[in-house]
Amino acid sequence: MPQQAWNAKQERQYQHIKKQTRQRGSSTKRAEEIAARTVNKERARSGEAKQASKTSTNDISAQRRGGLRSGNRQGPGGRTKQQLYEDARRKGIAGRSKMTKQQLEKAVGGR
């Protein structure tokens, strides 16, 4: 999905993200959407886009967010309480806000 506003680096980034997303099992259409959104968000953060949402400019970058999520979910101390809480939220576990880290681990199936 090359766009005329993208420079060569952004096009390479798009192709790389698309390829990696496809390898993780997403459909071609979904992979293209994720890649385009990532590149466009970075364009908005750097001021290249005509419009930018608040989350595009105030949120952490996609690369940083991805780096935080990958690999270190099972680091030396395991997942953080916040990561466990988010997993519990996604699973719809009731009472998660009052749970300790150990309770959250048990509830979401960690450790």
Would you place residue 4 in the very low, low, confident or very high pLDDT band (cuts 50, 70, 90)?
Answer: low
Give the HSE-up count for residue 80: Cα atoms under 13 Å, Cβ half-sphere.
7
**Can you give the pTM of this predicted structure?**
0.48
Q: What is the pLDDT of residues 58-93, one digit of tens each?
A: 667 666 766 666 654 555 567 889 989 999 999 999
Q: What is the pLDDT of residues 16-37, one digit of tens each?
A: 999 999 998 889 999 999 998 8
Q: What is the pLDDT at residue 43?
A: 82
Question: Is residue 18 a contact partner of residue 11, using CB atoms and an 8 Å limit?
Answer: no
Q: What is the pLDDT at residue 42?
A: 82
